[in-house]
Amino acid sequence: MVERVGDAVTQVSPGDHVVCSWNPHCGHCFYCERDQPILCEPFARHQPAGHLLDGESRYTLDGAKLHHFSVVSSHAEYCVVPESGAIRVPEAIPFDRACLIGCGVMTGVGAATRVARVEAGASVAVIGCGAVGLNALQGAALEQAAVIVAVDRDPAREAIARSFGATHFVLAGDAGAIDQVKNLTAGRGTDYVFECAGSEASLQLGFEVVRPGGHAVILGKTAVNQKVSLRFGSLMGEKRIVRSSYGGARPRRDFPWLAQAYLDGKLKLDELISLRLPLDRINEGFDAMRRGEIIRAVVEFPA
């Protein structure tokens, strides 16, 4: 909830319910003017140093400067964000559900609906059924894809993948995984693939199962300086490959839409939350994520 605003702020007011975006944008740099706010130059320049878009910090502790963690500083009871980083959403959506929208939900759902623009009746494969992959599944389901194949190395993920819209489930480690996917699509491969696992093996699998002329959207991440080796032939066949970090997000357009979709019963958020915990136990949540035991942990602050 907004506590205070600066004199020049016009988009939100004190008392508004908002979702914070980790990728605020200036609106007028080279990339913002080309409708690519994810690449905003002031953000790219200053965010790695823990600063806001103007290159400054608004935090101090005992007179010493503090930094803004990923702009939103969401592991604190109060935070200071740019105006473009606070997006008003309907008051009816609970805060512990709304907080999920600004990262994994936007990335996964947006990859299907905004980046790839999956059409009704299409075939889709989603590789990696974690927080982003589950949302890619429900994004494909929202667009009424006919075949939605969830691929994961953990068989325990099948049930939740199907609850998020998967029509089929394939174990990533199976020797016949590629053939299993292709057999569901007349031998061609899927129209779209969303790689959400962030490994060389999952990248290769994605390029193998997407059909010639199909669309491959890379959402998973690995170390930025890590080199990967891929079978070149899997990239051939006029395949269209794009990397997406935020699902084509236009937060003022998309966050209210996602919140309303949840309120209308069209978007699953409750099912993403595996664990709720207070701030002083946050490390337990990180540990559970590293062990792969949870989808999302939500930090709850005192009322």
How far apart CA 111 and CA 125 sit, in angstroms, is: 12
Q: How many CB atoms lie within 10 A of CB 40?
A: 23
CA-derived radius of gyration, the chain: 20
pLDDT score at 292: 87
pLDDT tens per residue across span 95-118: 999 999 999 999 999 999 999 999
pLDDT score at 302: 82
Binned at pLDDT 50, 70 and 90, residue 265 comes out as: very high
**Sign of the Cα pseudo-torsion (275, 218, 263, 84, in order):** positive
Among 12-26, 60-74, 209-223, where is mean pLDDT lowest? 60-74
pLDDT score at 75: 86
Q: Which positions ≥6 away from 24 have C-beta within 8 Å? A: 40, 43, 53, 71, 81, 82, 83, 84, 85
Residue 74 has pLDDT above 90, yes or no: no
**Which string of DSSP letters, residue by residue, matches 235-299?**
GTTT-EEEE-SSTT--HHHHHHHHHHHHHTT-S--GGGEEEEEEGGGHHHHHHHHHTT--SEEEE
Tokens of 95: 């805060």
pLDDT score at 173: 85
123-137 mean pLDDT: 97
Binned at pLDDT 50, 70 and 90, residue 132 comes out as: very high
Binned at pLDDT 50, 70 and 90, residue 263 comes out as: very high
pLDDT tens per residue across span 241-250: 999 999 999 9
pLDDT tens per residue across span 151-210: 999 999 999 999 999 999 999 988 899 999 999 999 999 999 999 999 999 999 999 999
pLDDT higher for 87 or 292? 87
12-25 mean pLDDT: 96
Question: Cα torsion at 112, 113, 114, 118 (round to 10°)?
Answer: 70
How far apart CA 160 and CA 270 sit, in angstroms, is: 12
Q: How many CB atoms lie within 10 A of CB 265?
A: 7
* Structural domains present in the chain: 18-102+251-300 (3.90.180.10), 111-243 (3.40.50.720)
Do 93 and 226 contact (CB within 8 A), yes or no? no
How far apart CA 53 and CA 19 sit, in angstroms, is: 18
